[in-house]
Amino acid sequence: MRPVASRRAGLAPGAVLLMAALAGPGAAAYPERPVRLVVGFAPGGATDILARHLSTELGAALGQTVIVENRAGGNGYPAWRQVAGSAPDGHTLLLGENSMAIMPSLYESQAFDPRKAFAPVGFIGTAPFVLIVHPSVQARSVPDLVALARAQPGRLQYGSAGNGTPTQLSFEALRLAAGIDALHVPYKGGGPAMVDLLGGHLTGMFAAFSVAKPSIEAGKVRALALTGPRRSASLPDIPTFVEAGLPLPDLDLGQWWGVFAPAGLPADVAATLNAALARALSQPEVRRRLAALSIDIETGPPGLLAQRLSEEITRWRGVIRAANVVGD
By the 8 A CB rule, do 7 and 151 touch? Answer: no
Range of the domain at 159: 129-252
Residue-level pLDDT at 141: 97
**Residue 158, amino acid:** Y
Same-domain pairing of 242 and 213:
yes
Same-domain pairing of 211 and 277:
no
Q: Is the pLDDT of residue 23 over 80?
A: no
Same-domain pairing of 117 and 168:
no
Q: Is the pLDDT of residue 218 over 80?
A: yes
Residue-level pLDDT at 22: 46
Q: Which CATH number do you get for residue 205?
A: 3.40.190.10
Residue-level pLDDT at 29: 87
User: At which of 189, 217, 252 does a domain end?
Assistant: 252
Higher-pLDDT residue of 229, 94? 94
Q: What share of the chain is helix, strand, coil (3-state, %, to 5)?
A: 45, 20, 35
Read off the pTM. 0.76
Same-domain pairing of 14 and 121:
yes
Q: Is the pLDDT of residue 205 over 70?
A: yes
Asked if residue 1 is part of any domain, the answer here is no
146-196 pLDDT per residue, tens: 999 999 999 999 999 888 888 899 999 899 889 999 999 999 878 889 999
Q: Is the pLDDT of residue 315 over 90?
A: no
Proportion of the chain above pLDDT 90, given as a percent:
59
Asked if residue 308 is part of any domain, the answer here is yes
Confidence of residue 250 (pLDDT cuts 50, 70, 90): low
Q: Cα Rg for the chain, rounded, in angstroms?
A: 20
The contacts of residue 288 (CB under 8 Å, 6+ apart) are none
Is residue 66 exposed (0-12), middle (13-18) or buried (19+ Cβ within 10 Å)? Answer: buried
Residue-level pLDDT at 9: 40
- Give the mean pLDDT of 122-142: 95
Domain count, the chain: 2
User: At which of 252, 271, 306 does a domain end?
Assistant: 252
Residue-level pLDDT at 230: 85
Q: Measuring CA to CA, which residue among 129, 99, 95, 105 is closest to residue 309?
A: 99
Asked if residue 194 is part of any domain, the answer here is yes
Residue-level pLDDT at 273: 98
CA-CA distance, 325 to 328, in Å (whole number)?
10
Asked if residue 3 is part of any domain, the answer here is no
Query: Mean pLDDT over all residues of the chain?
Result: 87
Asked if residue 96 is part of any domain, the answer here is yes
The alpha-helical segments, DSSP class H, found in 152-264 are 166-178, 190-198, 209-217
CA-CA distance, 321 to 252, in Å (whole number)?
18
Same-domain pairing of 218 and 316:
no
Asked if residue 210 is part of any domain, the answer here is yes
Same-domain pairing of 178 and 233:
yes
Instruction: Give kind and range of the element (H or E) at residue 94.
Output: strand 92-97
Same-domain pairing of 198 and 281:
no
Asked if residue 70 is part of any domain, the answer here is yes
User: At which of 234, 252, 270 does a domain end?
Assistant: 252
Residue-level pLDDT at 3: 40
Same-domain pairing of 149 and 196:
yes
Give the chain's largest Cα–Cα span: 71
- Cα-Cα-Cα-Cα dihedral of 148, 151, 152, 153, to 10°? 110
Same-domain pairing of 168 and 57:
no
Q: Which CATH number do you get for residue 34?
A: 3.40.190.150
Same-domain pairing of 260 and 187:
no
Q: If you average pLDDT over each of 97-101, 183-187, 316-320, 322-326, which comes out highest?
A: 183-187
